[in-house]
Homo-oligomer: A and B are copies of this chain.
Amino acid sequence: MDTVLRAELTARGIAPDCVETIGLVRDVLARVGDKWTVLIVTELASGPMRYTALHEKVSGISQRMLGHTLRALHRDGLVTRTAYPEVPPRVEYELTALGRSLAQAVDHLVLWVRAHQPAIAANREVFDTAG
């Protein structure tokens, strides 16, 4: 998490481990909330997949962002990366147990959104037209 926030929270007298948690929560939420993570994890939920397959399935993603996102997921231990020593090279990505458990946690949120999507859409409509 970012140092500035930690300092600010600490200054407010919040317990250190609580500070740590708030920061990491935002961290994880930011990861999950970024442009591609949910789409990638959704694809991987159905099984291991190689780089190019992901690139095709997650339509519209650039190589750069696919690489960045996979690396971040790998760093956090949410996916495994397996490179087979072949020619041409083959690399497979797969959700770890941790990754699947996160996917499940995210599912709650997905369900919430599915359930309340009409309400949010309606609220926005009202807000945008009326104020």
| A contact set with B: CB distance below 8 Å | 4-5, 8-9, 11-12, 20-22, 24-26, 28-35, 38-39, 42, 57, 59-60, 74-77, 98, 101-102, 105-106, 108-110, 112-114, 116-117, 119-124, 127-128
In the bound complex, residues from chain B placing their C-beta under 8 Å from that of A4 are 60
Chain B residues near A20 (CB-CB < 8 A): 117
B8 adjacent to A59 (CB under 8 Å) = yes
Contacts of A29 in B (CB 8 A): 29, 32-33, 38, 106, 109
Q: Tell me what chain A mostly uses at the interface: helix, strand, loop, or mixed.
A: helix
B38 touches A26 (CB 8 A): yes
Which of A11, A34, A75 is the most central at the interface, judged by chain B CB atoms within 10 Å of its CB? Answer: A75
